[in-house]
Every structure is written in structure tokens, then in C-alpha cells.
Chains A and B, each alone.
Chain A
Amino acid sequence: MTVRLYLWQRLTAALMAPMVLAHLAIIFYASRQGLTAAAMLARTRGSFGWALFYGVFVVAASIHASIGLNNVLCEWSPLKERGSGVLASAFGALLFLLGLRAVMAVVS
């Protein structure tokens, strides 16, 4: 791992740590309040705030996970550096697309 990837991994981790806590708090709140799917969607649809929150989370998670996966593949698989890089980037892109799709589903 290079210093550049190290920085991105730590940055995204630092960003995600409070976001995960906020996400858990939101789940807790929603279930305690007994919010229905319709009630949740009413809050999230068209909301720039929720789109930004979960959008940033999806981007950070995709970057963080693909760097981590790259390290695991480099260390534990017979793949060469290039192969691991391609596979990990593809995984990051997949996470990004799936995450984005999920965000779009609740905000649009």
C-alpha cells in the first residue's frame, strides 16, 4: 500500500465512523417510532440532506472497501498487483452503483 492509498483509506474511515453511528441512531429512531415504509419515504423523498448524507456514505464506503479488498487480494491471493487492483476497483465500482441505486430509491 502506498501513502496515497493509506491516506484515502484513513480519510474515508474517519468520515464513515460518525456516519455509521448516525445511521444506527436513525434506524433506532425509526423502529422506536414505529415508522412505516411510507412514513420514511415521505421524509426522504426529494430531500437534498438525505441524498447528500447517504450519497457521501456510499462514495466513502466504495473507496474504503476497494482499498481494503486490494490489500487482502495482494496479500492473500496469488493475483499479481495489477490483477488485484483491477478486481478491487471493479468491486468498488459495483458497490458504488448498488449504493447509488439504493439512495436513489429512497430520495427520488
Chain B
Amino acid sequence: MGSAPDELEVSLWRGGEAGRYEAYRVPLKENQTVLDLVTWIQRYLDPTLSYRFACRVGMCGSCAMTVDGRPRWTCRTLVAKILKGRRLEIGPLQNLPVIKDLAADMRPFFEKWQRAKGVFAPSQTRREAPAKIPPQSALRIAADAAIECINCGICYAACDSVRWNRDYLGPAALNRAWTLLNDARDKGNAERLRAVSGKDGCHNCHSHQSCERHCPKALNPTASIAGLKRKTLEAYLTGRIAG
């Protein structure tokens, strides 16, 4: 299907796992984001199109899709910046089941978040005075480097180790575990170290840094995972966790 100069041919994944790409013509506009294209198709061509978004400003992490083979946050991706030619192919995030059209099923992603103990385990109650964490402390600096994650799943979709081992906890959950490991207020580290050092844990990471390359928040889960590998090794050598 050809497209006029001010039009774009946009192929969207339609259906579930056994779906197919279908092409639509969408008018090109200035400052258009990939999410705008999808929204235009839903508004003007096919209201049954399913996709996910909320904030549209890069905060909620819900709009991630595969755009021309790369996982991206669609609300912050300008069409003009990534367009090569006059075609764009948009599908659901990879490495996750497809619910319908562009909506991937994020459940495995968040289940692994729980399995990696990526959940704060408070050591104090609200009746105690708030903990004082000096901004210059080594722990705080380590946590800071990894903390801005918006749970978008882009790193997870980009990770070959997840592709090869569907049980691998993946970059986002491990990155979160690393921030909590460095959180002086948290008391769940014994369990967390066990959780991330099992057979589907941090040692499955090959350090090829696709996660870092694609993370829209410019985080480096590979570095966090390297930190986990160090900490779990220490814990293993000192007998705090079993192999």
C-alpha cells in the first residue's frame, strides 16, 4: 500500500498471539509521537484497537510498544526522529504474552518484580522518626543511580536472556532489587539476596547491555545486576546464602 507525501503507512499488530500486521494510512503532522499515530487510528479508523497509555509525558510507563523492531516509550518518541522512509511497524512489547493488538500482558513482568523481592520491607513503623539518609552516603548514591525506573518493561522486552529463559527475573526486577539492597531503611536483604541468586536470578545476565541501550530513563540495569552479582557472591562465600 503506497502513501501520499503527507501520509504515513502504519502497520499495527492486530489480534492476540496468532494475529497479524494490518496497514493503515495516517496523516503526518508536526511533533507527532508514535502514540499519537496509534490514537489517531483508534479515533478515526478503528475504535476496536486496543492499546495502553495513561500519562503521555513519560512518567507512568504504560505506553511501551515495539516500534520498527525496537522497544520504545511511544508517548515520548517523535515520529520524525525515528522515521526511515514512509512506513512504521508497531507491535506489542516482546517477551510478553499478547492480550490483544498492542497491549502486552504485563503480569509475568510484575510477578517477577515480586519474586525478586523488589518490594520495600520496612524496618520501622510510622510511629518512629523518619530515617535520615545522607545524600552523599555510598548506599544512597548507589540507589539513586537506579531509582528512576518507571516500570515500562522496555528493558525486559529488549533482553535476550529473557527471550532464552522465560523464567529469568530480568533487568527491571533486578534493578529494583538493587535499589532496595542499597536502601538503609529496608530489612528484607537476606531474603532478597536469596531471591536474586537462584537459578533464574542475576547470574543469568550476559551483560550485553540491551537493557541499558533501550531504557528510556537512561538507567543501567546491567550495572545494577553486576552489583547484585558481587553482593550475592559475597553472601555465598560468607555462608549467608546457599548455592
Contacts and interface: CB of A to CB of B under 8 A. Distances in A.
Interface of A: 1-7, 74-76, 81
A6 B229 contact: yes
B233 A2 contact: no
Contact of A76 (B164, B201, B204, B243): B164
A68 to B, nearest CB: 12
A74 B243 CA distance: 18
Would you call the interface of chain B mostly helix, strand, loop, or mixed?
A: helix
24 contacts: A1-B203, A1-B204, A2-B197, A2-B199, A2-B201, A2-B243, A3-B197, A3-B201, A3-B203, A3-B233, A3-B236, A3-B241, A4-B236, A5-B203, A5-B243, A6-B203, A7-B236, A74-B164, A74-B165, A75-B161, A75-B164, A75-B165, A76-B164, A81-B199
Contacts of A4: 236, 243
B232 interface: yes
B199 A1 contact: yes
B16 interface: no
Interface string B91-116: 00000000000000000000000000
B198 interface: yes
Contacts of B236: 3-4, 7
A52 to B, nearest CB: 26
Contacts of B164: 74-76
A69 B229 CA distance: 20
A82 B82 CA distance: 44
Nearest to B241: A3
Which 7 pairs of residues, A with B, have the shortest CB-CB distance?
A4-B243, A75-B164, A6-B203, A1-B203, A3-B197, A3-B236, A3-B232
A6 B232 CA distance: 10
Nearest to A76: B164
Given A3-B236, A7-B237, A74-B165, 10 more contacts: A1-B199, A2-B198, A2-B201, A3-B197, A3-B201, A3-B233, A4-B236, A7-B233, A76-B164, A81-B199
Nearest to B243: A4
A46 B232 CA distance: 43
A2 B203 contact: yes
A3 B241 CA distance: 9
A74 B165 CA distance: 8
Give the interface centre of A2, A3, A5, A7 by most chain B CB atoms within 10 Å.
A3
Contacts of A3: 197, 201, 203, 232-233, 236, 241, 243
Contacts of A1: 199, 203-204
Contacts of A74: 164-165
